Structure 1
Amino acid sequence: MSDAQAAPARTNLLLVDDHQMVIEGIKTLLKSDGTVRVVAQANSGADALRCLHDHPSINVALVDLNMPQMSGVELTRHICASYPAVRVLALSMFHDHTSVMEVLEAGGAGYLLKNTTRAELSAAIANVAAGRTHFSQEVGQTLLQHLDVPAQRPSAAPVAELTAREKEILRLVAAEKSNQDIATALFISERTVETHRKNILTKTSCKSVVGLIQYAIKHKLLA
């Protein structure tokens, strides 16, 4: 998904996984990527929080979800609360709807599967560092397949009234289409797409695309 915010020249990355072999494998994959620097690594949630305290330059954390003591979702929640400038990219072998929604609700900016390629890993890190979101294709499909799931915590606030065009754009945003892709699909200008996106965010009182997707799913705006 596109955003006006530009990616930093280099992403300072924190790797978090309770298996050191996985960390070493990720470091090997990223070795040739000159835009990413692995600043720190941690084998537990507690270690990760210490790393963030000791390395304020970190701006992206790649977090394994399945960890003992403090789960990846719990860690994501702590990071988003205490280090809001750090973007969290979840890493997991599974992409069930419950796991994906837990990451989104905790404030995660993306969800990557462990069978990812070197190219997608680099792209995912670049996307979340730039303020965008990134979901593996299977994860995106999981989200779209469950758009009609009722909200577990219904909001007392009235549901935003979106126009037919805004709903159309919202569905394309949820499908991770860029402004250019949406403009081409709907035969409108990118400026018009951006205006609609801003209006949608304003109407729903959402601050980010991740929040917008959560809102849309909870209120069945895309069903």
Structure 2
Amino acid sequence: MIEEAIKLAIIDEFTLYRKLLKGYLSEQENISITTHTSDPFELLNRLKHFPTDILLSDILIANVNIIDVLKTIQTRYPEIRIIILSTCTDPKVISNLLDLGIHGYISKSDEPEELHQAIMTVAGNRIYRNKLFTEALYYNKQYSIKLGINGFPASLNEREKKILQLLWEEKSNKEIADQLFLSVRSIEKIRQDMKDKLGLKSTVGLLKYGITNRIIESANLTV
């Protein structure tokens, strides 16, 4: 259960939309809007002064390469989790964004309640895996895997494969640790070692690897 207010920032090109979104979210329990703007440079400046847990960002902003902006935010503020909120539902575009390590992708045509659910899920340090997100994971089954030593793809051992399956089932580090009789710190280290071994940067990257290599079982699309 989330006790402290979730500190939320919004970047979107349209002022009316931003203000309506701010109004809706401000009415929700445990959510506080730290800033909202259409200007990425203003956003970066404000993030220096206003601690933020989650950023809601569109990817279609005139004259702005939002991907570069998001990369800058991830470098400067790695603790900020990113949810994309956009009219674009192209699975190729979403698939590319997943490689950045975003925590959720919501269509602007979705119901407000889904956005609220996504925020609460991501605030709990989990990925919000709706249908759009999961379809994007499946989009490119030829997802390129970094090659290991001798030119052969790096592979996971049985324990790592089990952890990957449990991650797909949205188990927390604590739940995984209990099931495998390991400490939470050990699970955290193994997850990082898996990313390093495969040349991946995020949990989403691990999930894509698991799907592509048929490690993840019962990987059905979620609704």
TM-score normalised by structure 2 residue count: 0.74
Query: Counterpart of 2:77?
Result: 83
In the TM superposition, residue 218 of structure 1 has moved relative to its aligned partner by 4.7
Q: Which has the higher contact order (CA 8 A, sep 6+)?
A: 1
Cα distance change, pair 27–9 in 1 and its aligned pair in 2 (3 A):
same
2-side partners of 1:205 and 1:218: how far apart?
10
| Residues 37-82 of structure 1: per-residue CA shift (max 9 Å, x gap) | 1111111222211221232x22211011111232332221111001
CA RMSD of aligned residues (A): 3.3
1:113 aligns with 2:104: no
Aligned residues: 203
Distance 1:45 1:202, change over 3 A: closer
Whole-Å separation in 2 of the counterparts to 1:134 and 1:80:
18
Cα 1:156/1:210, change in 2 over 3 Å: closer
Pairing 1:54-133 to 2, within 5 Å after superposition: 54-55=49-50, 57-133=51-127
Q: Deviations over 1:105-149 (max 9, x none)?
A: 333222222122222212211222222111332221231x33622
SS in 1 for 2:83: strand
2:136 matches 1:142: yes
- Kept in 2: contact 1:76–1:103 (CA 8 A): no
Identity of aligned residues (%): 18
Alignment pair present for 1:45 and 2:40: yes
Shift of 1:212: 3.0
How high is the TM-score relative to the length of structure 1? 0.74
Name the structure 2 match of 1:191. Answer: 178
CA distance in 2, matches of 1:67, 1:192: 45
Query: Per-residue deviation at 1:17?
Result: 0.1
Q: Which runs of 5+ in 2 are unaligned?
A: 216-223
Q: 1:222 to 1:147 in 2, by over 3 A?
A: farther
Structure 1 consecutive aligned stretches of length 4 or more whose deviation exceeds 6 Å: none
| Cα pair distance change 1:26/1:92, threshold 3 Å | same
Q: Distance in 2 between matches of 1:112 and 1:59?
A: 17
Asked if the contact 2:53–2:80 (Cα under 8 Å) also holds between the matched residues in 1, the reply is: yes
Number of the residue aligned with 2:203: 212
Asked if structure 2 preserves the Cα contact closer than 8 Å seen for 1:9 and 1:35, the reply is: yes
